[in-house]
Amino acid sequence: MDKRVADLAAAVAGIEDGMTVMIGGFGGAGSPIELIHALIDRFRATGSPRNLTVVNNNAGNGHVGLAALIEAGMVRKLICSFPRSADPVVFTELYLAGKIELELVPQGTLAERIRAGGAGIPAFYTPTSYGTDLAKGKPVEEFEGRPYVRERWLKADAALIKAETADPQGNLTYRAAARNFNPLMCMAAKETIVQASRILPPGGIDPETVVTPGLFVRKIVEVPHPRQEEDLNRAGAVYPLEA
């Protein structure tokens, strides 16, 4: 079995108009910048994909990565916990102009909804958000005398993931706190697309250290020296990047 694809363009070729796409990362850490940029390249060349629903913890920062995807006009709706950043201008302007939809989800609920989506659990109860505006309209049930809010699973057509190492079977490891939402999103998407800094031969990853088992992964592409969103933003970068 070999899940490697030739290049970034081939990796994102299956993402179509109107799809729900989960994008890993917490701020810049673990954000698959190169996969996002490949998707923007396809849109600029072909006008597709558009009307995407994107699931991410944030709403992009500056003018690269997720912010550039939004700026390109490809995103109809964002599902996230914290649409603010050092430079959230792209999302902020579109949101205040009523040109992009926002579903605000508490961060732990977002993580658990994605986990539930991947685990085949359609709904679960959480204490989070009980009695707040974000629980409006949601069923409440008491357990051991305390109220809990029912939340639903979250699934996606595709997930864009950043890993540190992969093997051809799709087994993955992550780097430091770049792990965050990535392993959960791998489980919750029909087509999980991974950029890995290194692809090792079969057996190159000790089974004891695998974080995401290859079963959850569909496509892998090697991106040896991935850019960091924070570095790009500090340099004032705007996508498309100058060579």
Partner 1 sequence: MDKLSTNQIAWRAAQDIADGAYVNLGIGFPEKVAQYQPPGREAIFHTENGILNFGESPAPGEEDWDLINAGKKAVTLKPGSAFFHHADSFAMVRGGHLDVAILGAYEVAENGDLANWSTGPKGVPAVGGAMDLVHGAKRVAVIMDHVAKDGRPKLVQRCSLPLTGVGCVTRIYTSLAVIDVEGGRFVLREKPPALSFEALQAATGAELLLSGPVADLIAPEL
Scanning 13-21, 64-72, 85-93, 137-145 for contacts with partner 1 by CB under 8 A, the matching segment is 85-93
The vertex-85 CA angle with 47 and 135, nearest 5°, equals 90
Asked whether position 35 contacts partner 1 by CB under 8 A, the answer is no
Q: Rule CB under 8 A: is residue 29 a binding residue for partner 1?
A: yes
Cβ at position 10, least distance to partner 1 in Å: 26
Q: Rounded CA gap, 179 and 194, in Å?
A: 13
For partner 1, what does the binding mask look like between residues 206 and 225, x meaning CB under 8 A? -----x--------------
Q: What sign for the dihedral angle of Cα 224, 15, 64, 183? A: negative
Specify the stretch interacting with partner 1 by CB under 8 A; choose among 10-18, 41-49, 88-96, 217-225: 88-96
**Contact status: 43 vs partner 1 (CB under 8 A):** no
Q: Residue 85, interface with partner 1 (CB under 8 A)?
A: yes
**Is residue 121 involved in binding partner 1 (CB under 8 A)?**
no
Among the residue ranges 2-10, 27-35, 68-76, 202-210, the one whose residues contact partner 1 (CB under 8 A): 27-35
Candidate ranges 1-9, 68-76, 107-115, 214-222; the one touching partner 1 (CB under 8 A): 107-115
65 touches partner 1 (CB under 8 A)? no
**From 128, 210, 222, 238, residue interacting with partner 1 (rule: CB under 8 A):** 128
Cα angle, residue 225 at apex, residues 114 and 240 outer, rounded to 5°: 80
Give the residue carrying structure tokens 């996508």: 239
Identify which range of 128-136, 151-159, 202-210, 235-243 contacts partner 1 by CB under 8 A. 128-136
Task: Report the candidate in 197, 196, 195, 189 with the shortest Cα–Cα distance to residue 215.
Answer: 189
* Contact residues for 53 (Cβ-Cβ < 8 A; gap 6+): 18, 19, 20, 21, 75, 76, 77, 78, 79
**Which residues within the stretch 142-171 sit at the binding site for partner 1 (CB under 8 A)?**
none
Between residues 49 and 118, which has the closer beta carbon with respect to partner 1? 118
Write down the least CB distance from residue 116 to partner 1, Å. 9
Q: Rounded to the nearest 5 degrees, what angle is found at the Cα of 201, between the Cα atoms of 176 and 198?
A: 35
In angstroms, rounded to a whole number, what is the distance separating the alpha carbons of residues 105 and 218?
27
What CA–CA distances, in Å, run from 155 to 3, 110, 171, 194?
22, 11, 21, 17
Q: Structure tokens of 61? A: 């920062």
Rounded to the nearest whole angstrom, what is the least distance from the CB of residue 242 to partner 1 in the complex? 21
Residues within window 3-22 making contact with partner 1, judged by CB under 8 A: none
